[in-house]
Amino acid sequence: MKVELTVNGKDITADVEDRMLLVHFLRDVADLTATNIGCETTSCGACTVLLDGESVKSCTVLAAQADGHSITTLEGLASDSGEMHPVQKAFHTEHGLQCGYCTPGMVMAIVSLLKENPSPTEADVRSGLEGNICRCTGYHNIVQAALVAAASNTVSSNTVSSNTVSSNTVSSNTVSSNTVSSNTVSSNTEAGK
Amino acid sequence: MIPPSFTYVRASSVDEALSLAAEHGEDAKYLAGGHSLLPLIKLRMASPAVLIDLGRITELSYIRDEGTHVAIGALTRHHDVATSAVLAADIPLLAHTAGEVGDPQIRHRGTIGGSVAHGDSASDLPATLLALDATFVIRGELGIRSVPATEFFKSIFETAIEPGELLTEIQVPKPATPAAWSFQKFTKRAIDWAIVGVAVQGTSVALISMGMTPLRATAVESALASGASIADAAALAADGTSAGSDIHGSKAYREHLARVLVRRGLEEAASRS
Amino acid sequence: MSILGTRVIRTEDPRLLTSGGVYVDDLREPELAGAVRATFVRSPVAHALITGIDTSEALAQPGVVAVLTVADMTDMPDQVPPEPLPEGSPPPEGPMPLGGVWSEPLLAVDRVRFVGEPVALVLTDSTYQGEDAAELVSVEYDQLTAVPSIDAALTGETLLFPEAGTNVCTKGLGDISDDSIFDGCEVIVEGDVLNQRVAVVPMEGRSTAAAWVNGKLTVWTSTQNAQIARLILTAIGLPPDAIRVVAPDVGGGFGAKIGVDRESIIVAWAAKHTGRPVRWVETRSENLVSMTQGRAQQHHVKIGGSKDGHIKAYRLDVVQDTGAYPRMSGFLPMLTNLMAPGVYDIPAVQAAYKVVVTDGTPVAAYRGAGRPEAAATIERAVDWYAAEAGLDPAVVRKLNFIRPEQFPFVTKTGAPYDTGDYESALDKVLDAAGYAELRAEQQRRRDAGDTKQLGIGLASYVEITAADAGAGETAKVEVHDDGTATVYTGSSAHGQGHHTAFAMIVTAELGIPMDKIEVIHGDTDLIPDGIGTYASRSLQLGGSAVQKAAIEVKDEAAKRAAELFEAAEADVVLDAETGIWHIAGDPDKSLTWSQVASAADEGLIVANVRFTADRPTFPFGSQLSLVEVDVETGKVTLLRHVTADDAGPVLNPILLDGQRHGGIAQGAAQALCEEILYDDDGNPLTSTLADYAAITAAELPSFELLRSETPTPVNPMGVKGIGEAGTIGATPAVHNAVIDAVSHLGVRHIDMPMTPERVWTAIQQGGAKKVSAE
């Protein structure tokens, strides 16, 4: 069937099999390969994108269901002038990625999370990411990145790309680690419910 | 990973959905949020020939305060149920439960109707709706009928919805003391299905994963009604249940958990009221 | 000030964060245009004879290009099995398949030995057609009795390899028969410790694409070493120079992507056989049943010592479940035996191992590869011993640590520890955690009978990195006439940040800024000779090689600069901060790298080196886990995790801590929630991520990392490897913590993973000891 999706601001029309998953539409039709596939059971979150501004697992949405809707992937997150979104920046400064495979899904999940909860606690971030699996980082720096991005206070709730005051710190002062000894973030974590 | 082929058709109204279902018969399944059905199809554990997408039927997405009860359209997404101001005030148990389903991404897509119609006894919402004595409004070609929660869940993956019928609305009576609620979802990891779960509203208690359907803990409720203490009533939590054993929990452990979680749920609900 | 030791954010990140990594499935190389998609048909049964394969229905499906079975592989050279070892030879202990009667085929020949074993390969025009066609390949199986566990394998009732006459495929020479080492021990504890089978779960599964063009096979594969992958791929009958292997971005490896395994060889062969480019990307379900898995050892342990806390004797008997095919001979349990006594100076140590085949997924390296198993068990044993002697586990550890003045120290098992300061690491952790206050709080909760009890778990560990130090690593450094530099490394990063680390080394030596340095890895056309990234070897071997090459470049450049200055070489000086060449004492004359390189032959200064070390190194540390256990349900919550991991001088704290974090998470996961399970027929029960409990952010706290830097004399930078250390220490720390939380209820041991039900069951049985003490 014919579907028309707006992906990262661009309209894409294609004739696809009814069974085509949104993630394959994005990767193979729209040729945006940042979004990755990590499982078949909607468990890992690597395929997370924004559908009408909300995080969804694109492996569990049909392209047909997304017909007429707007999708944002990692590739569409930076501003038109190429400036990284605060979440992307925070991942960079906080070393929130290693192999990079889970990263697009993590970033999009956090963008959505911060839109809905602009000042999350560490526990909010951790439970908000329970549907995103990372094997490399142990999540510590991913959580840091989310909190740093939130604290940078430039995440707009209406648009995905924000007007950022450049947070030009290599190691930010608010919640990330100091260089000398321990890396303590509030450890009153309600890990699991 | 890859679904088997199917034909996708789209309904833009309830009537259209019903007539498409009638047209395609047993070969067709409704597609709501898709987060119960599509995972099965992707694993090739289900292969309907036709999917009828209900996603455009915006008229079925609502949460309305109707005085004595709240009416929720079947296609209302978990996220909207979880963040509803009406429910937060009048039925916090339901808002909270919806916020426990899956993860944020799943909650942005999955619907209350889709989850309930799927009939998985390990799901969160069925037990809560059972504890709340909800009524399920079902439309078919022959008209509308209402089914109380106690008759809605028949067996695992089997509800009172007949082939071709469509769940359109869930009516949830407002509890006398909204704050007297508790939801005890016991998992190994936060993202897991409940090994055992308990939904409490006042002295109504429902169990997740203790049988082929969500179950009211009737022995507990009777004991409470005859004046038993919470501790004594909770000790009966496993009575009348038929928990299974699998890699996530043995029957004996589930029965033990039921007793503990019912006690904790009743204590928490009491402390809030 | 040198850039080394400073926090430098990764040069890899901007690309990964904006356009995303390019993994095998993302490649759009022209050679792969029109590539067919590969879908494997796999055995649904654990142990069976194959009595027939009917591909006709599948062949008739739309888009099917070929359906290949072993019958089509007649153009493969015969796989010559290795010569049998002469009588009396030591057991094969290298990370190589045992071969011989234990040989593993590519596509299954006449029998299958695990659920998921590849039987046929379907090639289709598109991905979506693949599963449709694969479903229609009809294979007839004559089922045999399963061998689903170590116990079943040891009975020998059903043999997976009848020709071998046994399921025990190799065993070590360690002698554990002499019980007299325990004579005179006032406290003796003996018991069984399970180190359960776990899955590796890299977020990107295995993936390989191949194209056969003009007599050359190019293979893009998600690997930890392109050069070794190429060697393995010669099995399809091509010499190395007819094969090019490229490692694109790799989405995690953790040891399970060393080289390539049978599916990738089949895919490469299929490209040559059909003349069409082929791309294979496994699904997660395939990954969870047919990518190699980790650990899977059963231990029997005995520890003995004096009443006042001095350990006198330790015995470790290991049975390794290697799954259906012994891909790593005795390598893993050999390392477990080698590292058996850990950080302790124990006068008498005995260690033995045997390896059995079972009808499970083959087992191979997984983050730590044999060493986590050793640490997990010695740390349990020390806690058993401490509990039996009524002593604080921290005190017992300190009493028995190898002391700093004893280094270099060769253990009773032959491990040559280079440097260490075990007590200092433990003290750091105890201090940062507030050990005394934690014990006080624990006691308060015990006295009050709280539902949520506190557990404090200690783990002191040492591990072996760069175990293959002699193989070394290669590096080529070039400085170009425009003043930029290129580094070619045999290391093969898959998330470790080598491009940043190795550029830092070049900057430190040559003063060329980071943004003018490009680091290249993973392409055998550009780097024909290299070893790769595993065994935590990359910084100490790969980084040392880069440093060595940079120094040679500097020495060569000094000659050029001297010529240009018309001065003596001895008077020429490079300011490593600015990258400017001077004459000593003459600030007016200077040259840039661009000028110096332009004066060299072909405008290029290059050094191509191999760095080898004469022995491995031994990072170490202590970790403390603080947990809360709900004694009514058995649920465990990880509250804090404090570590002091010491791998010598720190090149880049950001990269170091990232490796520690990731390691801790995987280690904690094994203790807490992850396990691969089979039913009695050998059917996998944990073959999706819904059932296999890969740990998430919601189960973990943020970690508290303390710095400790004890150099090694083994290489010029003094560095050891950190990649696996976090995992090795974390598992026993969490394991010990949970048991500590309920020890007052009579619990002495709980097997991993400590799921709520296991913990609750142990509490119910409290007092019914699973370990015996004399």
CB of A93 closer than 8 Å to CB of A120: no
Confidence class for position C81, pLDDT limits 50, 70, 90: low
A45–chain C Cβ distance below 8 A for any pair: no
Contact B8 A127 (CB under 8 A): no
On the question of pLDDT at B41 being above 90, the answer is: yes
Q: What is the pLDDT of residues B151-194, one digit of tens each?
A: 999 999 999 999 989 999 999 999 999 999 999 999 999 999 99
- Residue B29 in contact with residue B36, Cβ under 8 Å? no
Here the ipTM equals 0.97
Q: For residue range C262-305, list pLDDT tens digits in order.
A: 999 999 999 999 999 999 999 999 999 999 999 999 999 999 99
Collapsed DSSP state (helix, strand, coil) of residue C752: coil
CB contact under 8 A, A102 and C203: yes
Residue of B nearest to A123 (CA): B190
Which residue among A99, A125, A193 places its CB closest to the CB of C251?
Answer: A99
Q: How far is C701 from chain A (nearest CA, A)?
A: 6
Q: Which pairing describes strands B166-173 and A70-72: parallel, antiparallel, or unpaired?
A: unpaired
pLDDT at A186 over 50: no
Q: Kindly indicate the confidence band of residue C588, based on its pLDDT and cuts at 50, 70 and 90.
A: confident
- Which chain C residues are within 8 Å of B1, Cβ to Cβ? 131, 283-285
| Chain B, nearest residue to C764 by Cα | B253
Chain A: give the shortest CA distance to residue C445, in Å: 18
Of B4, B39, B191, the CB nearest to A60: B39
Give the pLDDT confidence score for residue C616 in this predicted structure: 98
Nearest Cα residue in chain A from C493: A99
**DSSP 8-class letter at C539:** I
Half-sphere exposure of C307 (CA within 13 A, CB side): 1
Amino acid letter, residue A33: T
Q: From the CA of A60, how many Å to the nearest CA of chain B? A: 6
Which among A34, A44, A95 has the least Cβ separation from residue C203? A44
Tens of pLDDT, residues C168-178: 999 999 999 99
| Interface contact A17-B5, CB threshold 8 A | yes
- In this structure, what DSSP letter does residue C401 have? B
Give percent helix, percent strand, percent coil of chain A, each to the nearest 5: 30, 15, 55
Distances (CA, A) of B170 to B83, B116, B136, C560: 17, 10, 5, 84
Question: In chain A, which residue's Cα lies nearest the Cα of C429?
Answer: A182
Integer Cα distance of B185 and B101 in angstroms:
10
Strand duo A70-72 + A2-7: pairing: parallel
Contacting partners of chain C (3+ CB pairs under 8 A): A, B
Q: Do A43 and C18 touch (CB under 8 A)?
A: no
In this complex, is the C-beta atom of A54 within 8 Å of any C-beta atom belonging to chain B? yes
The closest CB to that of A56, out of B8, B100, B105, belongs to B105
Are residues C23 and A36, on separate chains, in Cβ contact within 8 Å?
yes
SS (H, E, C) B141-205: CCEEEEEEHHHHEEECCEECCCCCCEEEEEEEECCCCCCCEEEEEECCCCCCCCCEEEEEECCEE
DSSP state letter for B49: S
**C203 vs A84: CB contact, 8 Å cut-off?**
no
**Which amino acid would we find at residue C702?**
S
- Judge whether C63 is closer than 8 Å to chain A, CB to CB: no
Are residues C757 and B190, on separate chains, in Cβ contact within 8 Å?
Answer: no
Q: Using the beta-carbon criterion (under 8 Å), do A65 and B2 form an inter-chain contact?
A: no
Contacts of C700 in chain A (CB under 8 A): 126, 138-140, 191
Contacts for C602 with CB less than 8 Å, ≥ 6 apart: none
Q: Which two tokens stand for residue A144?
A: 């840091």
d(CA C313, CA C341): 10
Beta strands per DSSP E along chain B: 7-10, 28-31, 50-53, 63-65, 69-73, 135-140, 143-148, 153-155, 158-159, 166-173, 181-186, 196-201, 204-208, 215-216
Among A111, A19, A128, A27, smallest CA distance to A65 is for A19
**Is residue A59 less than 8 Å (CB to CB) from chain B?**
yes
* pLDDT for residue C769: 55
What pLDDT score does C1 carry? 79
- Distance, CA of C316 to CA of C313 (rounded, Å): 10
Joined together, the tokens standing for residue C603 give 């405008």
| pLDDT reported for residue C767 | 62
Given a contact as 3+ CB pairs under 8 Å, which chains touch B?
A, C
pLDDT tens-digit map of C465-513: 999 999 999 999 999 999 999 999 999 999 999 999 999 999 999 999 9
Q: Tokens at residue B132, please? A: 């709340």
Mean pLDDT, residues C446-464: 98
Q: Give me the pLDDT at residue C766, please.
A: 86
Which whole number is the average pLDDT over C86-114? 92
Q: Is residue C64's pLDDT more than 70?
A: yes
From first CA to last CA, the distance across chain C in angstroms is 59
Q: Which residues of B touch A109 (CB under 8 A)?
A: 104-105
End-to-end CA, chain B: 47
129-188 of A, contacting C, C-beta below 8 A:
129-144, 170-171, 177, 179-187
- What is the nearest CA distance from A96 to chain B, expressed in angstroms? 20
State the helix-helix crossing angle for C371-389 and C725-741, rounded to 10 degrees.
30
Helical packing angle, C498-510 and C544-565, nearest 10°:
30
Chains touching chain A, criterion 3+ CB pairs below 8 Å: B, C
Residue of B nearest to C698 (CA): B190
Alpha carbon of A152: minimum distance to chain B alpha carbons (Å): 23
How far is residue B111 from each of residues A80, B31, B60, C681, measured CA to CA in Å? 35, 10, 10, 38
Which residues numbered 80-119 in A keep a CB inside 8 Å of some CB on B?
109, 112-113, 116
The token pair at B141 is: 């070609």
Could you tell me the sign of the dihedral formed by the alpha carbons of C684, C689, C690, C694, in that order?
positive
Distance CA B183, CA B165 (A): 31
| CA dihedral of residues C719, C723, C728, C731 (deg, nearest 10) | 140
**pTM of the shown model:** 0.95
Q: Is the pLDDT of residue A185 over 50?
A: no
- What value does the mean pLDDT take over residues C132-159? 98
> Tokens 């409470």, residue?
B224
Chain B hits for C283, CB-CB cut-off 8 Å, are 1
Percent of chain C at pLDDT > 70 equals 98
Residue carrying the six token digits 């579907």: A3
Q: What is the count of residue pairs from A and C with beta carbons less than 8 Å apart?
A: 231
Average pLDDT score over chain A: 84
| A188 pLDDT higher than 70 | no
Residues in chain A: 193
Nearest to C53 by CA among C67, C64, C65, C35: C67
**Nearest alpha carbon to residue C656 among C7, C203, C3:** C7
Q: CB distance B190–A19 less than 8 Å? A: no
Q: Where residue C80 falls among pLDDT bands split at 50, 70, 90?
A: low
Tell me the domains of chain C and their CATH numbers: 201-291 (3.30.365.10), 294-465+616-773 (3.30.365.10), 469-611 (3.30.365.10)
Mean pLDDT of chain C: 96
pLDDT of A182 higher than 70: no
Residue A192's pLDDT band (boundaries 50, 70, 90)? very low
Numbered residues of chain B with Cβ closer than 8 Å to any chain C Cβ? 1-2, 4-5, 43-44, 186, 188-192, 195, 247, 249-250, 253, 256-257, 260-261
Residue of B nearest to A191 (CA): B190
Q: Is C444 exposed, middle or buried (0-12, 13-18, 19+ CB in 10 A)?
A: exposed
- In chain B, the residue whose alpha carbon lies closest to the alpha carbon of A18 is B8
Element (H, E) at C10: none
**pLDDT for residue A181 is more than 60:** no
User: C127–B2: do the CB atoms touch at under 8 Å?
Assistant: yes
- pLDDT at site C46: 98
Length of chain B: 273
- Sorted by where each starts, the structural domains of chain A and their CATH numbers stand as 2-76 (3.10.20.30), 86-182 (1.10.150.120)
Please give the interface size between B and C, counted as residue pairs whose CB atoms are below 8 Å apart: 50
- What are the CA-CA distances from residue B248 to residues A42, B127, C430, C511 (Å)? 19, 19, 35, 57
Q: Which residue of A has its CA nearest to B40?
A: A41
As a whole number of angstroms, the distance between CA C304 and CA C63 comes to 67
Query: To the nearest whole angstrom, how far is the Cα of A29 from the nearest Cα of chain C?
Result: 13
Among chain B residues, the shortest Cα distance to A66 is held by B55
Whether A192 contacts chain B with CB within 8 A: yes
pLDDT at position C77 is 85
> Considering only CA atoms, which of C630, C635, C593 is closest in space to residue C756?
C635
Residue C707 φ then ψ, to 5°: -95, 140
pLDDT in tens, A62-104: 999 999 999 999 999 999 898 999 999 999 999 999 999 999 9
Confidence of residue A136 (pLDDT cuts 50, 70, 90): very high
Contact between A148 and A89 under an 8 Å Cβ cutoff? The reply is no
